[in-house]
Amino acid sequence: MTARDGAGTAHEIATTGALDLVSVIIPSYNHRSHVETAVRSALSQTHPAVQVIVIDDGSRDGSREFLEGFAVTAGFEFIAQDNAGVCRTLNRAINERARGRYIALLASDDAWAPDKLARQLARLREVPAAEFCFAQAREFRREPSDATGAPFPARPCEGDVLRHVVLRQHVPAGTMLFTRALFDRLGGFDETLKEEDWDFVIRAAATTNFAAVPAPLLFYRAHATNAMRARSRTEIFHQKALVLAKNFPLIPPARWAVALLVHFVHDIVLQWTLAFFPRYRPVRDHR
């Protein structure tokens, strides 16, 4: 199939099943040097029914001009817009362009293993009543093939995972695969929040079972301009508190209180302690 029209030929749809179409959303902002790797990893999936949508969110580093030409030669859908933020960007791409039964997200500076979608779709079929699947991630600096370190999370949870995901973001955002029906029921990503992926995960976990593939299918690029690295831990904790406050009705009160305390210790107490003991490595946040 060609990714440009998203749905493929009639023969390919008949062979793979139209309901297996996955719409891959790649929001891009000032990642000219990285975005090609991300897009190629989505276009190279072994799963045959893939619609790749790249949406540039007002980049100023030449990304838009590069992607306009790359879309023609590589065959994917491209949208350019003024800067609107990641939540509005994701919601627009999904609501206006996505045609798949499934939605998958990929940051423009990360990359997937070639069998990422195929393995997740297979696992979704094996876990009863699951509309959401994730996998492990591994960090890299130069090339995905150079990824090192232990996969995150160490032990992915399946089934009813709400009690786990409120304590930490257990789901690497770039591994998220969920049904379009789930996205519509949840009303998409909350455009008032900066921890939009964690909020979406919590609301999804309160609605459906989760499936997980215990293998590193996402390669997460570590560099100085990562969104999480560019923000202070105080700001991150504030945003987490907003997410917890919003989702209080979904979480048992005792668990909610424990979650708030855990995030306060991680983002405020621990980081202040590390400031006085700089030889200790700060805890990484893979969101």
All structural domains of the chain with their residue ranges: 10-221
pLDDT value at 10 more than 50: no
> DSSP assignment of 221-271, as one string?
EP-TT-TTTTS-HHHHHHHHHHHHHHTGGGS-HHHHHHHHHHHHIIIIIHH
pLDDT greater at residue 258 or residue 168: 258
pLDDT tens digits, 92-137: 999 999 999 999 999 999 999 999 999 999 999 999 999 999 999 9
10-221 folds as Spore Coat Polysaccharide Biosynthesis Protein SpsA; Chain A (3.90.550)
Highest mean predicted confidence (pLDDT) among 144-153, 158-167, 272-281: 158-167
What pTM does this model have? 0.86
pLDDT tens digits, 167-182: 988 899 999 999 999 9
Average pLDDT, stretch 263-286?
Answer: 66
